[in-house]
Amino acid sequence: GAVVSQHPSWVICKSGTSVKIECRSLDFQATTMFWYRQFPKQSLMLMATSNEGSKATYEQGVEKDKFLINHASLTLSTLTVTSAHPEDSSFYICSASLAGETGANVLTFGAGSRLTVL
Amino acid sequence: EDQVTQSPEALRLQEGESSSLNCSYTVSGLRGLFWYRQDPGKGPEFLFTLYSAGEEKEKERLKATLTKKESFLHITAPKPEDSATYLCAVQAHQGGSYIPTFGRGTSLIVHP
């Protein structure tokens, strides 16, 4: 089955530094990847849609200069949290889209990355 | 605007006590309805896709059903290892990107 690898699984950084999270599709090519943020006991909040070879589409209220997304190849998308602050601490999850029956796209998720900003 | 409402928010069951989780949705042009399981500190794991009213799918102790307004995830004789958060999502026609909308999930705890 489709596998999405996300790295690192957890990271602790100092306020003001930048952190990069990688999301790789291991056995398939993903033209579209989604980045989510999840707060404790809350559902997934879509941050942006990453399309290979083009600029990411950000959801309303998500700062594109703070959350830089790069989808340079069909198997890799990266999320960089720039100048991180404690309020950026969260669980970030990526997913890749696979076309299923009747065109509905099944999302395969990475294991998530827990970011803690001190 | 697409909406997904899951109930209950939390559910505690005794091992072997069957129950159902509900996912009510409002969407224009349903492309698919998905159920995922999420364990603490992990990414969601895909369970089922349902495409049209009347469709049912089963996997071990889980069975998902779909009507035009809601979906149910039935859990038969649950075991402690079924404890997790179950997420429902709908996918509609939205340009060409098929962005899914997720519910808040139902947190299930099964006591031995």
Q: Residue A103 has what pLDDT? A: 59
The residue type found at B38 is Q
Q: Report in angstroms the alpha-carbon separations of B31 from A29, A31, A111, B39, B94.
A: 22, 19, 26, 26, 10
Q: Reply yes or no on whether the pLDDT at B47 is more than 90.
A: yes
Whether residue A44 and residue B102 make contact (CB cut-off 8 A), yes or no, is yes
CA A93/CA A23 separation, integer angstroms: 9
Q: Residue A102 has what pLDDT? A: 54
CA B23/CA B91 separation, integer angstroms: 13
Backbone dihedral angles phi then psi of residue A96, each to the nearest 5 degrees: -120, 150
Whether residue B98 and residue A43 make contact (CB cut-off 8 A), yes or no, is no
**Helix, strand, coil percent content, chain B, rounded in steps of 5:** 5, 60, 40
Q: Residue A72 has what pLDDT? A: 81
pLDDT-derived band at A101 (thresholds 50, 70, 90) equals: low
For A52, the enclosing helix (H) or strand (E) is none
Q: Residue B28 has what pLDDT? A: 81
CA B29/CA B85 separation, integer angstroms: 27
Q: A86: cis peptide before it, omega within 30°?
A: no
Q: What mean pLDDT value characterizes chain B?
A: 92
CB < 8 Å to B49, chain A:
100-101, 104, 106
At A37-70, the pLDDT tens digits run 998 878 899 999 988 888 899 999 999 999 999 9
The pLDDT > 90 percentage for chain A reads: 63
Do the beta carbons of residue A16 and residue A70 sit within 8 Å?
A: no
Q: Give the nearest partner residue to A112 out of B32, B43, B104, using CB atoms.
A: B43
CB < 8 Å to B29, chain A:
none
Is B42 within 8 Å of chain A by CB? yes
Cβ within 8 Å of A, B 10-39 = 31-32, 34, 36
More confident call, B99 vs B14: B14
The structure tokens listed for B26 are 């409002």
| Residues A68-77: contacts with CB under 8 Å, at least 24 apart | A69/A35, A71/A33, A74/A25, A74/A29, A74/A30, A74/A31, A75/A24, A75/A25, A75/A26, A75/A29, A75/A30, A76/A22, A76/A23, A76/A24, A76/A25, A77/A22, A77/A23, A77/A30, A77/A33, A77/A35, A77/A50
Of residues B96, B39, B86, the one with CA closest to residue B61: B86
At A20-40, the pLDDT tens digits run 999 999 988 887 899 999 988
The structure tokens listed for B50 are 């349902």
Q: Residue A53 has what pLDDT? A: 81
pLDDT-derived band at B31 (thresholds 50, 70, 90) equals: confident
pLDDT-derived band at B88 (thresholds 50, 70, 90) equals: very high
Using CB atoms within 10 A of its CB, is residue A108 exposed (0-12), middle (13-18) or buried (19+)?
Answer: buried
Q: Report in angstroms the alpha-carbon separations of A51 from A33, A48, A69, B40.
A: 7, 10, 10, 28
Q: Which of B97, B108, B109 would you mutate first to test chain A, the one with the most A CBs within 10 A? A: B97
